[in-house]
Amino acid sequence: MEALTKKQKEVLDYIVQKIEEKGVAPSYREIAKRFRLRSLATVALHVRALIRKGCLAREKWRARGLTPTGYASPTPGSLIPVPLLSGFLPAGPTQELSEEVEKTLFIDRYLLKGSGRDCFAMKVRGISMTGAGIEDGDMVVAKRQQFADPRNLVIALKDGEVTLKRFIPQDGGVLLKAENPQAQSYFIPLKADDQRVKGIIGKVIKVIKDVKP
């Protein structure tokens, strides 16, 4: 493979990063903004060079269809059906959890870190988790489980209502911590014989950023 220039390597790394974060390659305009390039034509030159050097492939008939070589494109066997639950997941005050499915998403198994069909997705509303990089309008994918490791992002029930928070074990209980100093955290006391926190619904395994036009 032909050697990359420093700038080409930076552009390639950025494309891979955005695919990991959003599940889709960045637009030319986003690349130009990231590297302070004045012209989209300059971005196109870098992309064509990366394609010519075998680092990128372009998928026809697909918007933002750039795929790094070695990063498997989704195939029918690799796509996992994930139910998107209706309503919103509060990153702020709690609300009741809806189990009604709005639609089914098909997400590459690679992006779900190997998790199987025990996943669900919810749209986020609120600003309590901005410190964790989760903004209002983003979507989270969670694996259904009733336990969590320290500092995992979890979807949990508090007084029968659902919330998105960080899981922080403490003496006498667990703190469901907001990642915004202006938002409320919740402490759940535990009895000495409790083996696990009651109310954890799932562990967040993927954040899909709200893609702006």
pLDDT tens, residue by residue, 36-47? 999 999 999 999
Q: Which residue among 68, 87, 103 closes a domain? A: 68
The residue count of the chain comes to 213
The residues carrying an active-site annotation are: 128, 165
Residue among 16, 6, 111 nearest 56 (CA): 16
Q: Which pairing describes strands 119-125 and 79-90: parallel, antiparallel, or unpaired?
A: parallel
Do 18 and 89 lie in a common domain? Answer: no
Cα–Cα distance measured from residue 94 to residue 103, given in angstroms and rounded to the nearest whole number: 23
Do 130 and 197 lie in a common domain? Answer: yes
> What range does the domain containing 49 cover?
6-68
Q: Which residue among 68, 87, 105 closes a domain? A: 68
Instruction: Please give the mean pLDDT across all residues of the chain.
Output: 81
Residue 104 pLDDT greater than 90, yes or no: no
Q: What is the pLDDT of residue 92?
A: 66
Do 64 and 118 lie in a common domain? Answer: no
Do 101 and 25 lie in a common domain? Answer: no
Residue among 68, 72, 96, 78 nearest 1 (CA): 68
Q: What is the pLDDT of residue 153?
A: 94
Residues 6+ apart with CB under 8 A from 91: 124, 125, 126, 127, 128, 129, 130, 134, 136, 163, 164, 178, 183
pLDDT tens, residue by residue, 154-199? 998 887 788 999 999 998 888 999 999 999 999 888 775 555 566 7
Give the sheet arrangement for strand 161-170, strand by strand: 101-108, 79-90, 119-125, 139-144, 200-208, 153-158, 161-170, 173-177, 186-189
Cα–Cα distance measured from residue 138 to residue 132, given in angstroms and rounded to the nearest whole number: 12
Identify the CATH number of the domain in which residue 45 sits.
1.10.10.10
Do 41 and 126 lie in a common domain? Answer: no
Identify the CATH number of the domain in which residue 90 sits.
2.10.109.10
Cα–Cα distance measured from residue 104 to residue 118, given in angstroms and rounded to the nearest whole number: 13
Do 98 and 146 lie in a common domain? Answer: yes
Do 89 and 58 lie in a common domain? Answer: no
- Residue 149 pLDDT level (bands cut at 50, 70, 90): very high
Residue among 88, 57, 74, 70 nearest 23 (CA): 74
Residue among 41, 45, 35 nearest 13 (CA): 35
Cα–Cα distance measured from residue 49 to residue 55, given in angstroms and rounded to the nearest whole number: 9
Residue 30 lies in a domain: yes
Do 89 and 188 lie in a common domain? Answer: yes
